[in-house]
Amino acid sequence: MTSRVLEETLRLVEGVGRELRELGVNYVVLDDLATGLYGLVQPLEEVRLLVDAGREDDVTRAVTSATQMGFIQAKLRASLQEKGVAAVNLVTLPLLVIETAAAGLDVELLRESFAYSLLGLEVRLPPLEGLIAKLVARGQYPYTAKGLALMIAWADSLSKDRLKKSLEKGGVDPAVLKALLAEAWGLASGLAPLRLKERAVHDLLENL
């Protein structure tokens, strides 16, 4: 993430978030921005905001106001109502994706989000365990890969009980995740900086 793109993206998200809060809509940041702020260095291609369900009109108003793209209003609202997700192409910034909360894990992420400040700009982040569960629950690349990378990077800091509860709410099969994590660790363990994580990763594998 370059500093310019990161700062402009944070400014956009803070603006959308401010509009949402003023309308009483909860939100939390997911995907590339969230994983990046948790230390997973990567290109910033997609910014996903999870928002309260049933607030499509307010969400549409907030996004169009913050982006000054009123011409997308009808299409944005229709997509949120019909599909529960909508994408806004900002051309010079990462794709902005808005997703409405649909399951118990989503509600947890919104309820347990916290304020995170960087470069003087504030956004709402999910708890790490919940973010990991949300990523791996999709069962698709690159989301699963990012979730596994975060599990390895933070293996010695994760709350195993909290992670297990979040995974359960996300409908993730522990046996499948354990196999994927073991495979990922087999590839990553050869990297010298990660060898210090070996005991924590094995402990995580035993407790999933």
Q: Give the residue-averaged pLDDT of 160-178.
A: 93
Token pair for 117? 């400040």
- Is the per-residue pLDDT at 73 higher than 60? yes
Chain mean pLDDT for the chain: 93
Task: For residue 64, count other CB atoms closer than 10 A to its CB.
Answer: 20
Q: Quick one: pLDDT at residue 2?
A: 53
DSSP tally for the chain: helices H, then strands E: 10, 6
Q: What one-character DSSP code corresponds to residue 193?
A: G
* pLDDT score of 1 more than 70: no
